[in-house]
C-alpha cells in the first residue's frame, strides 16, 4: 500500500464515478483540487458531509478548487445514495463521487487503515495544488464529521502562502494579519510588505495580508 505524504505528487487515476468515467488529472486541469473519501454509501455522517459539500461548491469554485469524493461502493449505489443526500440535506450533489469497488484508488491514497477497519476507507481529505503536489492531508475517524469552514480556511492559507512569503498564525481567518517568513530579514521585509511590518520578536513579525 502506498503512503502519501505532504509534498508528494498526488497519484493519477482513471475511474468510474457518479458522473461517468473520469481521469483525475484531466478533471483537475491547472487548478487546485480536493479529494475526500467516505467509508461506504448510505452512512449517516457522510450523508451530511456530502450535502454540506454540495452547498459549499460555490465557495470552492471561487478558489478554483475542483471537488471529488470517493466511496468503495459502485456507481449504481452512489446514484441511489445521492437521491437520499439531495432529499435529506435539501441540496443537489454537484460533483463526482468515485466508485472504488476494487479499492484501487483507496490503496493509491492510503485510505485503508487496518487498525481502524480492514475493509472500509477512512475519512481522509487531500488538498492538491496545481502542480499536483499534496498540500494537506486530514484524516478523521468515522464518528466525526468534517468542518467545511475549516477546509476553506486552510485553502485560503495554502493559496496565500503559495504565492507570498508569509505563513498564517493560529486561528487565522482571511483578512487578518499574517506572519512574515523567517527567511526574510526585517529590513527586506519592510521593502516587500509595504503595508507595514510589526516586529514582536526578531523571529515573529506580522504584516497585513498582502493579497487584499
Which of 46, 97, 125, 154 is an active site residue?
46
Longest dimension (CA), the chain: 61
Alpha-carbon separation of residue 212 from 56, 71, 174, 176, 204 (angstroms): 22, 38, 9, 10, 21
Cα-only R_g, the chain:
19
Q: Grid coordinates in use for 81?
A: 445514495
46 tagged catalytic: yes
CA 105 and chain centroid, separation: 16
- Report the number of secondary-structure helices (H) and strands (E) in the chain: 7, 11
Catalytic site positions:
46
Amino acid at each position: 500500500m502506498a503512503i502519501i505524504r505532504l509534498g508528494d505528487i498526488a497519484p493519477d487515476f482513471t475511474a468510474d464515478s457518479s458522473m461517468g468515467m473520469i481521469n483525475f488529472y484531466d478533471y483537475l486541469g491547472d487548478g487546485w483540487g480536493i479529494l475526500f473519501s467516505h467509508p461506504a454509501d448510505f452512512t449517516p455522517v457522510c450523508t451530511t458531509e456530502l450535502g454540506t459539500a454540495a452547498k459549499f461548491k460555490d465557495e470552492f469554485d471561487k478558489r478554483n478548487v475542483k471537488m471529488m469524493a470517493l466511496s468503495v461502493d459502485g456507481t449504481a449505489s452512489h446514484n441511489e445514495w445521492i437521491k437520499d443526500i439531495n432529499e435529506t440535506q435539501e441540496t443537489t450533489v454537484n460533483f463526482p463521487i468515485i466508485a472504488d469497488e476494487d479499492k484501487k484508488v483507496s490503496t493509491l491514497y492510503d485510505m485503508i487503515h487496518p487498525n481502524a477497519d480492514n475493509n472500509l476507507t477512512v475519512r481522509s481529505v487531500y488538498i492538491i495544488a496545481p502542480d499536483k503536489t499534496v498540500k494537506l492531508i486530514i484524516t478523521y475517524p468515522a464518528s466525526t464529521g468534517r468542518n467545511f469552514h475549516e477546509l476553506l480556511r486552510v485553502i485560503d492559507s495554502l493559496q496565500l502562502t503559495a504565492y507570498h512569503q508569509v505563513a498564517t498564525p493560529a486561528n487565522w481567518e482571511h483578512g487578518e494579519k499574517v506572519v512574515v517568513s523567517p527567511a526574510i530579514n526585517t529590513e527586506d521585509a519592510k521593502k516587500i510588505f509595504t503595508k507595514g511590518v510589526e516586529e514582536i520578536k526578531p523571529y515573529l513579525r506580522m504584516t497585513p495580508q498582502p493579497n487584499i
